[in-house]
């Protein structure tokens, strides 16, 4: 076996965003594009020689080819062993678990998560560090720097490996261990949750529908929900991962999981509905007639986690990303535990989890997880909900009502303005950033600004700081708006606007009605109409 050195040159724009490098699939398929980035990863971590990695992806278009390329490059770079899921499939949380379980030097995960898949859609590559979590900013910065000076990469010219069945293969001097993507993850879930109680719940007639959205969670949900817990066959729908996710966005929210939402709001609704995203790290939870916002879900899980065996000793702390509503903070206060507010993106939770400062973390974008892995984990959230439902013997709606009565309610909604020309989006954000200091005391419609700032984060564990993490505007009467630009898009810019209104004694009015004055104030002060020519978002979640 001879290692081939391929001459290349730096490719512009290989800068990882909120969650790895995401580009149009055709860009990743260009000569040297993927190879340059993979070599930059290895170069940024001091080489791959003698190291062990996990590699897998969500099965989207180009997953198979990319896995083969990465395996060859890992072997050519001298890696000792790579663990890869059967057919190259691994959910993001399962990959995180395998990295930790096998004490590897990290892993490469192929996914553009909730973005659609296909030759004309999106692809992504992300490196996770030995703790199982997404590379922190210092590491992604080194990857980007490495990409700017790259002049060659190494690979092998070997035929594709057959990754169809678990077993041990060799590629040059490197061992390739093909592993079942589900089994170790399943064992971890069985340790954390009371499967017996959950089996009892389902045997007692409790019904559920889990929409895997033709993405990677299908096999996991089938094994655990239908296999281990005894949900009737057919409880998991769209369970076969497809390279184009059946043509939809594998994004578990009321817009993209509309058929499930419609079912849950209908007379035929099962007791519990859930969905997960392309790579299995996100979740949507919906009870019969009761959608649970991700921010509320985080708060409910934090308040009730002790009902599951894995969390019976209580939580060390709760962490949420800055745009996520403050509902979880209220639970932390009541429990007398710490709460943390981090920038958007799971990589910022890693240090808190490693240091034992936080046990449960969450983001408003349908991500919840705990210290069991270092990624958000869609199916984990579903199982924790089911465990809580099995113990409390109440409906999702009753649990939510009870929660709001006790803690008050943070009405919440996110509006996305997608595919905005980049210059316009920056113009809007820069203008607003420049106005922040003068906003307090000014009134917009019914609301008066009480405070405004640009969010910076000082990591309490390693002392690193991250700036420009979003604009925050608070108003008298418990309202808050956050504006930031997405770091996962592949076309133009996406402006995300997050609205939140706290009510101590929830009025019961619709979220739309409660948030209207806030929305109007923010659209006015942000000059949306004038700068981007739009006041209606493309997606509301
Ligand atoms: C979005 C979400 C963020 C999430 C990220 C990755 O980022 O807002 O909360 O961590 O996607 O999720 P952005 O920068 O577009 O707002 V996933 O499921 O792609 O791993
Ligand atoms: Co995801």
Q: What 8-state DSSP symbol labels residue 136?
A: P
User: In whole angstroms, what is the distance from residue 362 CA to residue 332 CA?
Assistant: 13
pLDDT at 111 over 80: yes
What does the pLDDT look like over 433-473, one tens digit per residue? 999 999 999 999 999 999 999 999 999 999 999 999 999 99
Question: What three-state secondary structure class fits 217?
Answer: helix
Atom of ligand 1 nearest to the CA of 489: 15
Residue 343: burial class (beta carbons within 10 Å; 0-12, 13-18, 19+): buried
- Ligand 1, closest atom to CA 484? 16
Q: Is the CB of 368 under 6 A from ligand 1?
A: no
Q: Per-residue pLDDT tens for 391-447? A: 999 999 999 999 999 999 999 999 999 999 999 999 999 999 999 999 999 999 999
Question: What pLDDT, on the 0 to 100 scale, is given for residue 113?
Answer: 95
Q: Are 250 and 277 in contact (CB under 8 A)?
A: yes
CA of 366 to the centre of ligand 1 (A): 9
486 CB near ligand 1 (under 6 Å): yes
Per the prediction, the chain carries an average pLDDT of 96
Whose alpha carbon is nearest atom 1 of ligand 1? Answer: 488
Task: Give the distance (Å) from ligand 1 centre to CA of residue 408.
Answer: 27
Nearest protein Cα to ligand 1, atom 4? 345
Strand partners, 495: 417, 485
What is the model's pLDDT at position 34? Answer: 98
Structure tokens at 370: 């705990």
Distance 472 CA to ligand 2 centre (A): 25
pLDDT tens for each residue of 283-342: 999 999 999 999 999 999 999 999 999 999 999 999 999 999 999 999 999 999 999 999
Percent of the chain with pLDDT over 70: 100
Integer Cα distance of 58 and 67 in angstroms: 11
Q: Are 112 and 118 within 8 A, CB to CB?
A: no
Ligand 2 centroid from CA 476, angstroms: 35
Nearest CA to ligand 1 atom 13: 486
State in Å: Cα 167 to ligand 1 middle.
Answer: 34
How many Å apart are CA 502 and CA 296, to the nearest integer?
Answer: 12
- Choose one of 15, 128, 280, 367 to mutate for the ligand 1 pocket test, by most ligand atoms within 8 angstroms of C-beta: 367
Give tens-digit pLDDT for 247-285: 989 999 998 999 999 999 999 999 999 999 999 999 999
Q: Which ligand is in closest contact with the Cα of 362?
A: 1
| Å from CA of 327 to ligand 2 middle | 23
Three-class secondary structure of residue 57 per DSSP = strand
The preferred substitution site among 16, 17, 19 for testing ligand 1, maximizing ligand atoms within 8 Å of CB, is 19
Q: Which string of b and e fits 403-432 if b means at least 16 CB within 10 Å?
A: bbeebbbbbbbbbbbbebeeebbebbbeeb
DSSP 172-215: TTEEEEEE-TTHHHHHHHHHHS-HHHHHHHHHTT--EEEE-TTS
Instruction: Confirm if 237 and 262 have CB atoms less than 8 A apart.
Output: no
Q: Work out the number of other CB atoms within 10 angstroms of the CB of residue 338.
A: 16
pLDDT at position 421: 95
Res 491: pLDDT: 79
**Beta pairing partners, 414:** 498
* Spacing, Cα 186 to ligand 2 middle (Å): 19
Q: Is the CB of 51 under 6 A from ligand 1?
A: no
Q: For the chain, percent helix, then strand, then coil, each to nearest 5?
A: 35, 25, 40
How confident is the model at residue 517, as a pLDDT? 96
Q: What is the pTM of this model?
A: 0.95
Residue nearest to atom 19 of ligand 1 (CA): 113
Ligand 1 close to Cβ of residue 81 (< 6 A): no
Catalytic residue among 19, 40, 111, 113: 113
Residue 485: CB within 6 Å of ligand 1?
Answer: no
Atom of ligand 1 nearest to the CA of 115: 19
Binding site membership of 413 for ligand 1 (Cβ less than 6 Å): no
pLDDT at 2: 87
Q: Which atom of ligand 1 is nearest to the CA of 92?
A: 20
Atom number of ligand 1 nearest to Cα 364: 9
Q: Above 80 in pLDDT, residue 1?
A: no
**Distances in Å between the alpha carbon of 142 and those of 13, 15, 145, 228, 354?**
14, 10, 5, 43, 22
DSSP symbol at 227: I
Contact 146, 44 (CB under 8 A): yes
**From CA 144, how far away is CA 183, in angstroms rounded?**
35
Ligand 1, atom 3, lies closest to the CA of 345
How much is the pLDDT for 251?
94
Q: Among this protein's residues, is 266 annotated catalytic?
A: no
pLDDT of res. 18: 83
Q: What is the DSSP string of 412-448?
A: EEEEEEEEE-HHHHHHHHHHHHHHGGG-TT-EETTEE
pLDDT (tens digit per residue) in 469-524: 999 999 999 999 999 999 887 778 999 999 999 999 888 899 999 999 999 999 99
Nearest residue to 17 via CA among 110, 149, 129, 134: 134
Residue 363 alpha carbon, nearest atom of ligand 1: 9
At residue 492, the pLDDT reads 86
């Amino acid at each position: 076996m001879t290692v081939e050195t391929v001459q290349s040159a730096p490719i512009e724009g290989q800068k990882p965003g909120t969650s790895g490098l995401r580009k149009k699939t055709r860009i990743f398929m260009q000569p040297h594009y993927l190879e340059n980035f993979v070599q930059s990863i290895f170069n940024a971590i001091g080489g791959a020689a003698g190291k062990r990695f996990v590699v897998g992806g969500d099965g989207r278009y180009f997953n198979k080819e990319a896995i083969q390329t990465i395996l060859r490059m890992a072997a050519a770079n001298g890696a000792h062993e790579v663990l890869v899921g059967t057919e190259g499939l691994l959910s993001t949380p399962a990959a995180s678990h395998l990295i930790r379980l096998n004490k590897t030097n990290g892993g490469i995960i192929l996914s553009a998560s909730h973005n659609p898949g296909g030759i004309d859609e999106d692809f992504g590559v992300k490196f996770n560090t030995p703790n199982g979590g997404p590379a922190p900013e210092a590491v992604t910065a080194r990857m980007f720097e490495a990409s700017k000076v790259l002049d060659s990469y190494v690979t092998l010219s070997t035929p594709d490996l057959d990754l169809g069945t678990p077993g041990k293969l060799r590629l040059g001097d490197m061992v390739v261990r093909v592993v079942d993507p589900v089994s170790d993850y399943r064992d971890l879930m069985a340790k954390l949750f009371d499967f017996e109680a959950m089996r009892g719940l389902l045997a007692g007639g409790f019904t559920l529908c889990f929409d895997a959205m033709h993405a990677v969670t299908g096999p996991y949900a089938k094994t655990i929900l239908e296999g281990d817990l005894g949900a009737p066959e057919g409880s998991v729908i769209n369970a076969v991962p497809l390279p184009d996710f059946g043509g939809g966005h594998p994004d578990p929210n009321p817009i993209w999981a509309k058929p499930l939402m419609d079912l849950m709001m209908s007379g035929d609704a099962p007791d519990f509905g859930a969905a997960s995203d392309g790579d299995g790290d996100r979740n949507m939870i919906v009870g019969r007639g009761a959608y649970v916002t991700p921010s509320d879900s985080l708060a409910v899980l934090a308040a009730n986690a002790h009902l599951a065996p894995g969390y019976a000793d209580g939580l060390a702390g709760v962490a949420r990303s800055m745009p996520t509503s403050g509902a979880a903070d209220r639970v932390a206060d009541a429990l007398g535990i710490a709460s943390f507010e981090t920038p958007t993106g799971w990589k910022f939770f890693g240090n808190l989890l490693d240091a034992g400062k936080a046990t449960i973390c969450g983001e408003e974008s349908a991500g919840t997880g705990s210290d069991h892995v270092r990624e958000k984990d869609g199916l984990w959230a579903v199982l924790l909900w089911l465990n809580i439902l099995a113990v409390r013997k109440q409906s999702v709606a009753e649990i939510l009502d009870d929660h709001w009565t006790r803690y008050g309610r943070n009405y919440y909604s996110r509006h996305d303005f997608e595919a905005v020309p980049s210059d316009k989006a920056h113009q809007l954000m820069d203008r607003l950033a420049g106005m922040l200091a003068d906003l307090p005391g000014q009134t917009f419609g019914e609301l008066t600004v009480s405070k405004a700032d640009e969010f910076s984060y000082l990591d309490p564990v390693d002392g690193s700081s991250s700036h420009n993490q979003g604009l925050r505007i608070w108003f008298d009467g418990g309202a808050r708006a956050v504006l930031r630009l997405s770091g996962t898009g592949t076309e133009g810019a996406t402006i995300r606007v997050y609205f939140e209104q706290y009510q101590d004694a929830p009025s019961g009015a619709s979220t739309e009605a409660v948030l209207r004055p806030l929305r109007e104030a923010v659209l006015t002060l942000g000059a949306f109409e004038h700068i981007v020519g739009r006041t209606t978002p493309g997606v509301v979640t």
